[in-house]
Amino acid sequence: MNTPDPAPVLDLVEAFRRSKTMFTALALGVFDRLHEASSPAAALAEAMGTHADATERLLEACAALGLLEKREGRYSNQPVAEAYLWSGSPRTLAGYIQYSERVLYPMWAHLDSAIREGTHRWGAAFGLEGPIFNHFFRTPEAQREFLRGMHGFGMLSSPPVVSAFDLSRFHTIADLGGGTGHLAMAACERYPALRGIVFDLPGPAAIAREHVALSPASERIQVVAGNFFEDDLPSADLYAMGRILHDWTEEKIAALLASIVRKLPPGGGLLVAEKLLHEDGVGPLAANMQSLNMLICTEGKERSLGDYARLLRQAGFVSVEGCRTRAPLDAVLALKG
């Protein structure tokens, strides 16, 4: 009998070590400091107020991970760190990485009890109860950090999502829970005749205005404050929701879809951006991991195209198409009859 290769198990044993290495380097400001200039380990340790030998081990590990380059005793950022780990980059994921370390990392420590009880772990990790997004937006600083992280993901996912289908037939896209406005911006930048609306709570809406102002399509994009569960939706012939439906129960999804169908004209559409599971629920791995993350954080979960098609058709949509984008999010387009 052949002995199975232990590599998958050993890789998972060490996986959290790699994550924590990146988390720590970012939290200490390594990538921001090395953006300014390359540095030997001793000088960087002195600037950060850290132990010299321990700092060198951290930098060597980051170099082994492909985040830094070591040349003649000096460390510098690799291009991937400049793009996604330097806080000043327009594509930075620093906000989401900080959120992952400070919020998700402690909550995932309670995955076992989440599996036993089937509920989120805000209470277990932080002693917090109540609506989920009260925790994401518990302070203006936490809100900005969370949305900044989501903007980084949006810069990766929104252009492929709005390119997945021909949206040129539509006149106005309203992105519900649109965060920083990255999806509406991507759509309006791709389709010159399209007008956009970013619809979100007052706090995110204020941050969205800052981002929208930087878009070349800014004159065609409006930001409107509101709650999509409680307020009248802005008029549009195409609604969009990115990383929204996976937050909620089927009952709340049904209520939200009913509101959208009521507002849509015949032939109007809904563009959904989510990570799609395979129909048997096994894979892609990122979708399975995100589904567990939804268990930890929210009331929702990830779903397959078939799951979304069922929910959308029950709400009154007659045509549902899906597209795997190879980006962090896939795309679903549903049309009203």
Considering the domain architecture, whether residues 173 and 267 belong to the same structural domain is answered as yes
Considering the domain architecture, whether residues 141 and 76 belong to the same structural domain is answered as no
Q: Which residues are catalytic?
A: 246
**In this structure, what CATH number is given to the domain that contains residue 298?**
3.40.50.150
Considering the domain architecture, whether residues 241 and 330 belong to the same structural domain is answered as yes
Collapse the DSSP code of 277 into the 3-class scheme (helix H, G, I; strand E, B; otherwise coil) and give the result: strand
Q: What is the pTM of this model?
A: 0.94
Q: Do the strands 39-40 and 317-323 form a parallel or antiparallel pair, or are they unpaired?
A: unpaired
Which of the listed residues 84, 100, 122 is the one where a domain comes to its end?
Answer: 84
What does each of the 337 residues of the chain score in pLDDT, given as a tens digit?
789 999 999 999 999 999 999 999 999 999 999 999 999 999 999 999 999 999 999 999 999 999 999 999 999 999 999 999 999 998 999 989 998 999 899 999 999 999 999 999 999 999 987 666 676 677 788 788 778 878 988 999 999 999 999 999 999 999 999 999 999 999 999 999 999 999 999 999 999 999 999 999 999 999 999 999 999 999 999 999 999 999 999 999 999 999 999 999 999 999 999 999 999 999 999 999 999 999 999 999 999 999 999 999 999 999 999 999 999 999 999 999 8
Tokens of 280: 């048997």
Residue 42 lies in a domain: yes
Which residue, 297, 186, 179, is CA-closest to 247?
297
Which of the listed residues 84, 115, 141 is the one where a domain comes to its end?
Answer: 84
Total count of domains within the chain: 2
pLDDT at 144: 82
pLDDT at 131: 63
CA end-to-end span of the chain: 59
Considering the domain architecture, whether residues 200 and 282 belong to the same structural domain is answered as yes
> What separation in angstroms does the CA of 60 have from each of 180, 187, 310?
35, 41, 50
Paired residues of 199 in beta bridges: 176, 224
Range of the domain at 42: 7-84
